[in-house]
Amino acid sequence: MTNIKTVFVTGGAGYIGSHCVLSLLEAGYNVVAIDNFVNSVEQQESAASLDRVSRITGKKIIFYKCDLLDIQQLDDIFNKHQFDCVIHFAAMKSVGESIKQPLMYYKNNIVGAMNLLDVMAAHECYQLVFSSSCTVYGNPIFLPITEDHPIGNVTNVYGRTKYFIEEILKDSVNSDPKWNVISLRYFNPVGAHSSGLIGEDPTKNFSNLMPYIALVALGKKPTLSIFGGDYETPDGTGIRDYIHVMDLAEGHVAALKKLQSKQSHLEVFNLGSGQGTSVLEFVQTFENVTGVKVPYIIEARREGDIGSMYANCDLARTKLGWTAKYTLDDICRDFWRWQSLNPNGYKGNSITSTNGDTCH
């Protein structure tokens, strides 16, 4: 049995990472987080999202600006702290960009993960929760998708990086039984913390649905572009499984508890709502919940997109004791609260701490 007290979180200042850090702190864990802000439009030196997390929880977070490609800096951080477990979020994440710049994605995501595993092993830290993706399933051959669905026939480079890292983790576990790994395959994270203090930063370059809805709702864009209106779905638009980001965060806490309770070696779990929602249904729900109209136009399908994808999450329910609790109405309400209170995201609200300083 492993007693996990201090968790190292890569990509901790990002959208999912910051919400997960909040849940970790509320569950009693100590957190050291890193981020290189690669998904930011502008270069950043500090983590405003984690400052907000500290305000919400009243707890401290040690933060370093660090790139996983800098293995020496990563090793220095491990020399300064004793980590019981790592949660690995850090990755470039745009499907469209990954298709246009595959080498950049392979280098950042895969080499960064390998550097992390090397440093973890060197410091005898073998407990890992990996942020994977439903994209590893490719174009589904059956729905809802269970964890034993074939993987590897991926439709985009981003998804292939997640698939390759899962294979690296599988080989690592097979080669050394000290490794204890849980891979969480996310579906579509949306929403924000109910406080309205943290959420998905609209100042970044997005390719996903909800930030674009918000930009139209805020009047920053005239119309929402819906890519693909001719899928074999009831209304012709793509169907996805939208999961509240706080449900997702709680899934990571459940995974840590699983690592503590027994050796997992390598286990894989879907994290989703278990329900499929079309893009038009999502837009209509947002309008109904917020009272704000979102004009849209239907455009051609994007390369790498698929028609329908949603999860079967029975395994997470039975083995992790986790289920998604928030509804689509909750998702829209919480996201609009965040967006209304922070129309420019975190811009102008950065903390002053630098490498190794404590956010509090």
Q: What is the pLDDT of residues 47-80, one digit of tens each?
A: 999 999 999 999 999 999 999 999 999 999 999 9
> What's residue 357's pLDDT?
52
Mean pLDDT of the region 307-333: 97
What b/e sequence results for 296-333 when a residue is b if at least 16 CB atoms lie within 10 Å of its CB, and e otherwise? beeeeeeebbbbbbbbbbebbeeebebebebebebbbb
What b/e sequence results for 255-275 when a residue is b if at least 16 CB atoms lie within 10 Å of its CB, and e otherwise? bbebbeeeebebbbbbbbbbb
Q: Does the annotation count 105 as an active-site position? A: no
Write down the pTM of the prediction. 0.93
- One-letter identity of residue 192: A
CB atoms within 10 A of CB 232: 8
Kindly name the residue from 126, 137, 158, 231 that is annotated as catalytic. 158
Beta strands in 29-100 (DSSP E): 30-35, 61-65, 85-88
> What's residue 360's pLDDT?
40
Alpha-carbon distance of 251 to 313, in angstroms, equals 11
HSE of 101, CA atoms in CB hemisphere, 13 A: 9
pLDDT band for position 359 (cuts 50, 70, 90):
very low
What are the tokens at 236? 């012709």
pLDDT band for position 302 (cuts 50, 70, 90):
confident
User: C-alpha distances in angstroms, 155 versus 146, 165, 232, 285, 303?
Assistant: 18, 16, 18, 29, 8
- One-letter identity of residue 89: F
Alpha-carbon distance of 124 to 178, in angstroms, equals 9
pLDDT band for position 351 (cuts 50, 70, 90):
very low
Radius of gyration of the chain (CA): 19
HSE of 44, CA atoms in CB hemisphere, 13 A: 28
